[in-house]
Amino acid sequence: MENATHALLIVGAVLVALIILSVGITLILTLSENARRYDSTISDIEIQKFNKNFVIYVGEDDITAHEIATLINFANEQEYKVDIKVKILHYDINYTTSEEFISKYQNNTFSCTGTSYDDEGRITSITFKRNHNLIF
């Protein structure tokens, strides 16, 4: 009889240990899922903040050379590469320095004609076209 009591105590202890282990695993999985979701939300917010600097020009048709120069400087300071393309006549020109751009086109206006995004939704390029005000 004493052995049966001992066996029941051991079985009870094993069951309690299994329940505690199950609750612990469930808690860890739930917390890790919440952390992953939080990281994803933060990443989405950072991408939106980054893109906001560029998408304000989408659809605009009276963008000055100084605004594009500011965008070139901003793009050069970022961790992620963003191509600033300017279509002059039928040529796409990538500018990496704002001084060069302003010196050539300071009296012109431009239209934003398109953007490209990567798989995460971060902008990778923005294209401008010089308007037909042929001032050099």
Altogether, the residues listed in the chain come to a count of 136
- Write the CA distances from 34 to 21, 29, 57, integer angstroms: 20, 9, 36
pLDDT at 136: 47
Instruction: State the pLDDT at residue 101.
Output: 78
pLDDT score recorded for residue 94: 67
How confident is the prediction for the chain on average, in pLDDT?
81
- 8 pLDDT above the threshold of 70: yes
Stated pTM of the model: 0.62
Instruction: Read off the pLDDT band of 71 (50, 70, 90).
Output: confident
| Mean pLDDT confidence for 48-55 | 89
Minimal CA–CA distance to 82: which of 114, 126, 48? 126
Q: What does the pLDDT look like over 105-136, one tens digit per residue? A: 888 889 988 888 888 888 888 888 888 765 54
Q: Is a pLDDT exceeding 60 seen at residue 33? A: yes
Instruction: Give the model's pLDDT for residue 70.
Output: 87
CA distance 39 to 7: 48
- The pLDDT-based confidence of 41 (bands split at 50, 70, 90) is low
